[in-house]
Amino acid sequence: MDKIDSTNNYAMEQVNTGQVTPGTAWFAMEQTAGKGQRGRQWHSPPGENIMLTLALQPNGLPLSRQFMLSVAVALGAADFFGKYAGDETCIKWSNDIYWRDRKAGGILIENVLRGNTWQYAITGMGININQTSFPGHLPNPVSLRQITGKSWDAVAMAKELCACLEPRLQQLHPAHYNELLAEYKSRLFRLNEPALYRLKEPYLQEQTGAGLPPVKDAYFQGIIRDVLPDGRLCLEKDGALLQLDFGQVEFVITR
């Protein structure tokens, strides 16, 4: 599509009409209201980057294991980006694509439910391909062009991304869950490395509600030790292991 508000919004509309074939992908040359995690906007100049949404039907994958879909998509996107950017490509929990300590892409999965049935997973991906100038408020963006010094055909690259995603999605079977999660963890940004983090308000409120002592300093030096099958991050703080949900912790970028 030449121009759309958001490929995720468009895909959601198409799914709601009931006329979509599972696996359909939509690519936008330009988004006027691209969506990122937790209500953020995704900015991209027209035609320079991958802005793609897949309508996936996760047959056989229960909602209780929905993090495995995020794992599979993140691995497929990292496979794609790493093919050109090299083995310094990694995955920042939960599903951002990083090169060294810089963000190259993000993934947003929005679920369509009918009662307790998981009908569709609207899987949006934004990956920086040719962009070289970014808004000043973004702390650490990077594109494939900045890494390689080459320009790329964004549409052709989006098709290749889909080809990299397909085998990962085919691995979504209980027999492969442990294998997928182990590979995801092996490619995790900051795994077993001391770094700076900030506990966010949802976690602080949870601690207060549980009657635990208030956290005096939300910023701390921590070490990622594990990711649980339900997606919680195991972060070591002062010798204790915190189990954190999405939105409870911020990776502090010190550049």
Domain 194-251: CATH architecture, name and number where available: Roll (2.30)
Look at residue 114 in the predicted model and tell me its pLDDT: 84
CB 110 within 8 A of CB 12: yes
Look at residue 203 in the predicted model and tell me its pLDDT: 76
Domain ranges of the chain: 7-186, 194-251
Counted residue by residue, the chain has a size of 255
Look at residue 60 in the predicted model and tell me its pLDDT: 82
Q: Whole-model pTM?
A: 0.92
Q: Beta partners for 109?
A: 123
CA angle, 50 as apex, 71 and 107 as ends, to 5°?
25
Q: Name the CATH topology of 7-186.
A: BirA Bifunctional Protein; domain 2 (3.30.930)
**DSSP SS3 for 150:** coil
- Angstrom CA distances, 112 to 9, 70, 165, 241, stand at 12, 15, 20, 34
- Consecutive 10-residue runs of the chain (255 residues): their mean pLDDT? 93 92 95 67 83 92 93 98 98 97 96 88 97 91 98 98 97 95 98 96 72 71 97 96 94 84
Residues 6 or more apart in contact with residue 100 via CB below 8 angstroms: 88, 142
